[in-house]
Amino acid sequence: MTGNTTLSTGAVSIGIDIGGTFTDVVCVTAAETHILKLPTTRDDPGRAVMAALDLLREHYAIAPASITSFVHGTTIATNAVLERKGARVGLVTTKGFRDILEIGRQIRRQMYDLNLRPETPGWLAPGARRVEVTERIDADGNVLEPLDAASLAAAIATLAAEKVEAVAVALLFSFLAPEHEHQVRAALEAALPGVPVSISSEVDPVFREYERTVVTAFDAYVKPVVARYLSNLDSNLAKAGVAAPLQIMQSRGGLAGGEIARQRPVRLFLSGPAAGAIGGRTAGRDAGLDNLITIDVGGTSSDIALIDQGRVLVKSETEIAGYQVRVPMLDVTTLGAGGGSLAWIDGGGGLRVGPQSAGADPGPACYGRGGREPTVTDASIVLGLLDPAYFAGGTMTLDPALAWQAIEERVARPLGLSVEAAALGIHRIANAHMADGIRLVSINRGYDPREFVLVPLGGAGGLHAVPLALELNINRVLVPRYPGVLAAAGLLAAPIEHEVSGAFLTAIADAKIADLTDALAALDRRADTLMQAERIQGLRRERLTLADVGYMGQSHYIEVPIDLAASDALGNLYRAFESAHQRLNGHKTNAPAKIVNLRVVHRAHRPPVSVGAKPSEGQGLSLKGRRSVLFPGETVRIDAALHDRALIADGERLVGPAIIEQTDSTTLLPSGWSAEVTGGAALLISRSPS
Residue ranges in contact with other proteins by CB under 8 A? 96-100, 102-103, 105-108, 111-119, 126-128, 138-139, 172-173, 207-211, 346-353, 415, 417, 421, 424-425, 428-429, 432-433, 436, 439-440, 443-444, 505, 553-556, 584-587, 589
> How crowded is residue 440: how many other Cβ atoms within 10 Å of its Cβ?
14
- Give 326 or 645: the residue with its C-beta nearer to other proteins: 326
Shortest spacing between CB 437 and other proteins, in angstroms: 9
Q: CA–CA separation, 462 vs 665, rounded Å?
A: 7
- Give 333 or 667: the residue with its C-beta nearer to other proteins: 333
- Give 554 or 572: the residue with its C-beta nearer to other proteins: 554
- Give 238 or 591: the residue with its C-beta nearer to other proteins: 591
397 φ/ψ angles, rounded to the nearest 5 degrees: -115, 150
> Residues 430, 376: contact at Cβ < 8 Å?
yes
Dihedral (Cα; 141, 208, 166, 269), 10-degree rounding? -130
- Residue 332's SS3 state is strand
- Give 122 or 490: the residue with its C-beta nearer to other proteins: 122
Q: CA–CA separation, 622 vs 652, rounded Å?
A: 10
675 φ/ψ angles, rounded to the nearest 5 degrees: -130, 145
Shortest spacing between CB 252 and other proteins, in angstroms: 24
Q: CA–CA separation, 32 vs 53, rounded Å?
A: 17
State the angle between helix axes of 149-161 and 179-191 in degrees (0 to 180), rounded to the nearest 10: 50
- Give 98 or 476: the residue with its C-beta nearer to other proteins: 98
> Residues 280, 310: contact at Cβ < 8 Å?
no
Shortest spacing between CB 310 and other proteins, in angstroms: 25
> Residues 377, 386: contact at Cβ < 8 Å?
yes
Shortest spacing between CB 350 and other proteins, in angstroms: 6
- Give 344 or 390: the residue with its C-beta nearer to other proteins: 344
- Residue 164's SS3 state is coil
> In sequence order, what are the beta bridge partners of 630?
none
Shortest spacing between CB 321 and other proteins, in angstroms: 17
Shortest spacing between CB 297 and other proteins, in angstroms: 18
Q: CA–CA separation, 277 vs 490, rounded Å?
A: 7
Three-state SS string over 71-115 comes to EEECCHHHHHHHCCCCCCEEEEEECCCCCHHHHCCCCCCCCCCCC
Shortest spacing between CB 116 and other proteins, in angstroms: 5
Strand duo 246-249 + 67-73: pairing: parallel
- Give 7 or 139: the residue with its C-beta nearer to other proteins: 139
Shortest spacing between CB 322 and other proteins, in angstroms: 14
- Residue 395's SS3 state is coil
Dihedral (Cα; 422, 424, 428, 434), 10-degree rounding? 100
Run of H or E residues at 145: strand 143-145
Nearest to 1 by CA among 663, 460, 625: 663
- Residue 378's SS3 state is helix
> Residues 341, 375: contact at Cβ < 8 Å?
yes
- Give 7 or 507: the residue with its C-beta nearer to other proteins: 507
- Give 96 or 561: the residue with its C-beta nearer to other proteins: 96
Q: Tell me which DSSP letter residue 64 carries.
A: G
- Give 216 or 247: the residue with its C-beta nearer to other proteins: 216
Shortest spacing between CB 247 and other proteins, in angstroms: 36
Shortest spacing between CB 564 and other proteins, in angstroms: 24
Measured between alpha carbons, how far apart are the two ends of the chain, in Å? 42
Shortest spacing between CB 136 and other proteins, in angstroms: 9
- Give 552 or 566: the residue with its C-beta nearer to other proteins: 552
Nearest to 426 by CA among 510, 341, 306, 334: 341
Shortest spacing between CB 40 and other proteins, in angstroms: 32
